[in-house]
Structure 1
């Protein structure tokens, strides 16, 4: 029998109906209340002619109703298409048109954007969650009188229930499709490899729930533990909630941890109940993780490596492996994940050599939406999926990520992986943040170029930074020039957006 996402939602709700499941500010919902509300919302969707397999766009910031709405869509059998609220009107319009969504569910604070989208996209209907200002009805109000029984919508393991646009930096619009079975497998993957959730645990969510942070909700739901939600990341509020809500687990991207380290209360916040500081999404600068471990303890830090196409953990670096030699590693492959390193033709590279990471796992996507050519390019014989990441295994079986194939710089016939140079440059005492890109050059084809943000009150000359890198890596890897800037472009989930930087400084 195939376990589905819907199965796991119902199991968690039945185990602990009276325990607190969700906390948002001074509001909360029990497991039973969340189950009842999501059932009623599902009935409201069905009454409005939403059918199994329909694609429904979600325009919701983090809030108390993020999880009930998500669960309602799964119970109604629909295919959710989350829209990151930080994107532009034109980006949202393209996503809706690409996926053919006929219905948009929006949060109260995004009513204006919902109205704009209804004007911009022909045939689009909208309903609010706590508001009707953006068009349609307020489904929270409308569902109050409906049954809280489980909707009688049949599901199958291969039903697509999530179409998620990736934060990739290639400039190509692409959306990963996950099924009832693959999303359930994501939950198992997290519980087997990353989390050991106990009933009195609580996880604090400051990152958007539509991406990696949301993956952690279901494992906590199954164990009767709390999900504490912030509207957005704020370092002061984050540290306060760690103490107030007795938080045991947090998930951070590097930019968040850097901001926390700069807060005066980082070293004095009571983190005695905090067992796991999970980080991923993009490589963590070595000086940042070293300082954080020194203050909060190495035993708390867990790194995961994964992709939207195959979440969440392809490999995990456990606390005991956060050593000097392994801080740059992704970790060891997850229990149920197979990993190969291949060349351009899909053949295995020689042992010890770098190659493109190819994966096979139950949590893998079904494919990209409406992209047959891309699917043929990314899927290999035998069910293997290319990641476009370049990696290498060391003698002890740890996977080391070199870089994205699209980010690799070819200069004077040599391959340069930006991350290697960034790791060196970020250790300079005056550097707050940096990114390395290639710019067209008549002599070298591409010139290694560093984009640098200096720390407040600090100063460094271009020549000084170039010498700093040249002392630690091969000469061809050093930057040919340094661009000083006030900020570095990032994707919607906090990754360095090297494509945007290449375009900006072309």
Structure 2
């Protein structure tokens, strides 16, 4: 294996893929699903060259936006690297989006090329886009993954140029700068309309490199690839991090608990990354107890600090594995805070970790003043991982990306004297009951400790006396009956009276964002 020069660090995504190929061109990168062929680093490099050549031949140039709406796939990843090689900007769309999201995001980004599946789960995207195309004036090329195309469109494979002029592509890559936009990732919208976070080559690589170092990821690691690629959990925390480490990704089209378990066993997954709901669903499978998951050496939970009961279950079933929280946002391009290697269960359940790599964190009050360690305020992050702002949204950019290179996360937190960060909840999710601030995460942890509860979400709702009170939505575990009175009593035993939900509603499911987090704005809007 050819060693990189001492201190070498790739500055663009194209550089990073080329570096991964040097000496490891024949090493596995993407492990196929359901018998599909594996792809080596060299395969991904060549296929992205072929698609990059096709894009250039179609008139795509540096700075143009290329949108992709498809499940996780090797073609998705090749499209990403092809765009990066020619300096185009990838606009990531979720395959679950429909008319409003497509029209808004494609027009707001002024996308010129749309790569989309022809159908997904019985939804006909060709018919859908034929009816929408007149309202997408900037989209010049419709490219479909599948057998069917739009009128005047082409298939993804037809756009490939089998023998590309790699010299032309390398010259295009040489003009791409680290701070150029690489990805336009629309926020999942838990608190309002989506905004397109502008992730640069530098910010994506900075987050991936810091994660690899902090988690000690290695070339022999196999990461499970079920987090959606249109989200930083799939793009940065899974694929880019694996590429930096030289490891493999067991790529799945999406998350399903049985598929995740089967893949973990068959592909000898060593790094399992997921949000709490993914773990809870997989661990709840009857066949999990008999499955050989001994290959897993690191379990990462994204989104928030692990719930106590879930954390204990994970460490029980993945014996000897390291458990870590990973905190990151679209605006930090991936992870920026991860649990320390020596964190015990109490620390894992009460904090999200420490800033990784060269990143920094601080907590500020409502006036922007820095709060001393132990005080509560809004969490802010700085470092090369921070995105370049929101696409064509200067007011929102200035409100979130504040002077000094700090990102205002919108999360309430406490920076402990030991440097660890305790998350209190979303600033906008906090509600005020009778003059007291209430953070839903604290109540949700109490509810989740009941073995009869699979998922829970708490929001504030109007009240004529207290202003707001808590309403808890709970999803029963498989085959379980929920005793609402017992849950209320559990909350009363463990929480101050003003934190006890005024109402507990049992539901079959909760609305989720594309990244698998509970979408509380939908709970408020739907008034379940």
With normalisation by structure 1, the TM-score equals: 0.95
The alignment status of 1:179 with 2:197, answered yes or no, reads no
Partner of 2:525 in structure 1?
Answer: 503
Aligned partners of 2:63 and 2:349: how far apart in 1? 43
CA contact 1:451–1:485 (8 Å) conserved in 2: yes
Q: Aligned with 2:38: secondary structure?
A: strand
Partner of 1:227 in structure 2?
Answer: 249
Aligned partners of 2:348 and 2:162: how far apart in 1? 56
Q: Aligned with 1:15: secondary structure?
A: coil
Partner of 2:225 in structure 1?
Answer: 205
The alignment status of 1:446 with 2:463, answered yes or no, reads no
| Aligned residue runs from structure 1 range 100-111, under 5 A | 100-109=110-119, 111=125
Choose the corresponding residue for 1:41, options 48, 51, 60.
51
Choose the corresponding residue for 1:396, options 418, 431, 434.
418
Give the drift of 1:243: 2.2
Partner of 1:293 in structure 2?
Answer: 315
CA contact 1:282–1:496 (8 Å) conserved in 2: no
CA contact 2:188–2:194 (8 Å) conserved in 1: no
Aligned partners of 1:315 and 1:34: how far apart in 2? 30
Partner of 2:144 in structure 1?
Answer: 128
Partner of 1:73 in structure 2?
Answer: 83
| Unaligned runs of at least 5 residues, structure 1 | none
The alignment status of 1:24 with 2:40, answered yes or no, reads no
Partner of 1:237 in structure 2?
Answer: 259
Give the drift of 1:13: 2.0
Give the drift of 1:406: 0.4
- CA offsets, 1:247-269, max 9 Å, x none? 21121111111111111232322
| Unaligned runs of at least 5 residues, structure 2 | 1-8
| Aligned residue runs from structure 1 range 237-386, under 5 A | 237-297=259-319, 299-318=321-340, 320-386=342-408
Partner of 1:155 in structure 2?
Answer: 176
Aligned partners of 2:387 and 2:495: how far apart in 1? 38
Give the drift of 1:164: 0.2
Give the drift of 1:59: 1.2
Q: Aligned with 2:286: secondary structure?
A: coil
Residues 1:115 and 1:63: Cα distance change in structure 2 (over 3 Å): farther
- CA offsets, 1:37-59, max 9 Å, x none? 11110010011111100111111
Choose the corresponding residue for 1:60, options 70, 73, 77.
70
Choose the corresponding residue for 1:455, options 459, 465, 477.
477
Residues 1:458 and 1:240: Cα distance change in structure 2 (over 3 Å): closer
Give the drift of 1:123: 4.4
Residues 1:108 and 1:422: Cα distance change in structure 2 (over 3 Å): same
Aligned partners of 2:18 and 2:288: how far apart in 1? 39
Aligned partners of 2:150 and 2:248: how far apart in 1? 31
Q: Aligned with 1:320: secondary structure?
A: coil
CA contact 1:243–1:270 (8 Å) conserved in 2: yes
Deviates most, 16-25 or 51-60: 16-25
Aligned partners of 1:429 and 1:196: how far apart in 2? 33
Aligned partners of 1:61 and 1:299: how far apart in 2? 29
Partner of 1:5 in structure 2?
Answer: 13
Partner of 1:194 in structure 2?
Answer: 215
- CA offsets, 1:66-123, max 9 Å, x none? 2111111111210110100012222111111111112201234354244444244234
Aligned partners of 2:257 and 2:191: how far apart in 1? 31
CA contact 2:10–2:19 (8 Å) conserved in 1: no
Q: Aligned with 1:65: secondary structure?
A: helix
Residues 1:117 and 1:300: Cα distance change in structure 2 (over 3 Å): farther
CA contact 1:407–1:418 (8 Å) conserved in 2: yes
- CA offsets, 1:315-343, max 9 Å, x none? 21145314235422101221311111001
RMSD across aligned C-alpha pairs, in angstroms? 2.0
Give the drift of 1:2: 7.7
